A and B are shown apart, each in its own frame.
Chain A
């Protein structure tokens, strides 16, 4: 018996598969898209080659002084020569191992928190959060238990940026949560205090807060008594950012259905256990993007300490450009600063995305 053989199906038209097909359907599907594509290509052609030429092909990489920068492009020698100053500021060179150790301790100490299977993770996390800041302060500042003191006026560079950001985050988050709970409290006194606090700090610009802390505060204190400048700035940053965190967290609290509160109450849980076990875990999970957003803004805002003469990464770079031996290196310096800030902010945002995916249990479709 003759079996009917279907003819093999023809391949799709050559113009609709592969690279050409993708290009046709995505970039040149109609005259308008074609126009936009061509325009974009023109812009890229306009921007990228000169940029690469400046930053890579005609840039100077080797040498030790400005005289070694003979090319037309960027002078990365400047960054190379000043790199340690951009990282540590004026921290004494022979004591910089303490800064390194502090960073390594943070990395090693926090690593177990990222292991899902680790037992007693909450306990370990709490212990880490209590012990590490004390240890970090001892290592960075010293002055007791056998370490030489390094005054905060000698701190600087990326290290100072990270200190301000880390202390700001570690201080603002708990304070912000407390404020958010306080704002939703049924006790009028607490509610009024929290609302006033939040609205005050949200209503003033950070630059004003820093300026007040460094210029006005000393005038109100008795002569000779002066607070550490960094400490004043840190307190300002914490108070300021906690108000923002509080509002973000409040958004999360309001998104929790009333049933959850009632169910928790029906289980016989008191206020703190209701919040701690039922409401906050759900609410904080909801507002991770908002909180990380605030943290990224905080990280970038640390560069405002430039106006009170603290030498964070940006100000260290700015100061290095005033060295007569390196005048005219501002562009290289600012590009480098932008790169470092971008790396950290991008890292934070990737981590927050990971965290969201991991914790996204209730609303997954």
Chain B
């Protein structure tokens, strides 16, 4: 199964009409990881909520398309009653677990609603807890009695216990220590190989994108400005914003900078604020649009077709 978001627009406030997302289309398949990257306010968390069904889009559609790989509602191996379509791992692990519930109950919750018998559910919960590298003792604890890293492992176990098609990872490592962060990413990668789950990962952390992503979509001001295979986007970023984002990590090319990324003025028609763009072009006149810049690789910059010019300005 494939989760398909088409032309999603989200507008907050009836009066203020604050466009959080302005026409975003993306798809996530089982077995792959789509990383949506961007700074705070780019609309990436809103996209996560819409994809999870926690929030309604102002316009656009969220749909599931069969891909013939045996997902919910048919195909070999997919027993519909036992499966969920989507679950989520949140940024703050401890807050994503009900403080008055023992961990066992939280992890078991998806199975209960699927109508699974308790002994079978218990077996599955124990298996998942072992798979995320925790001791079964933790099942009897309350969320306040475990560390952030442990809580995030619990959250991962809960997200995967009902064998979902897609798990949405909303900044899954942002609130964790550096050392724990790496281990959680390794765990997520392992589990994907084992279960074939698809990830929609929302993050601003380029290093976790490098670890996990198969595809990348870069969001800026509610628009996808570049998307493509992870390797292509990371090695050959075409949009100046993507280049700036990647250069923000220490290893990057110091020549490429986007000054004042945070303080960019808002452009009325929703295109990039070209006044601070290092590659001024005709973008502001007719909107950027997305141009094919490589196989399955698109970027929303009129100058993006010419990588040399974009990179060196």
Q: Do A and B bind each other?
A: no
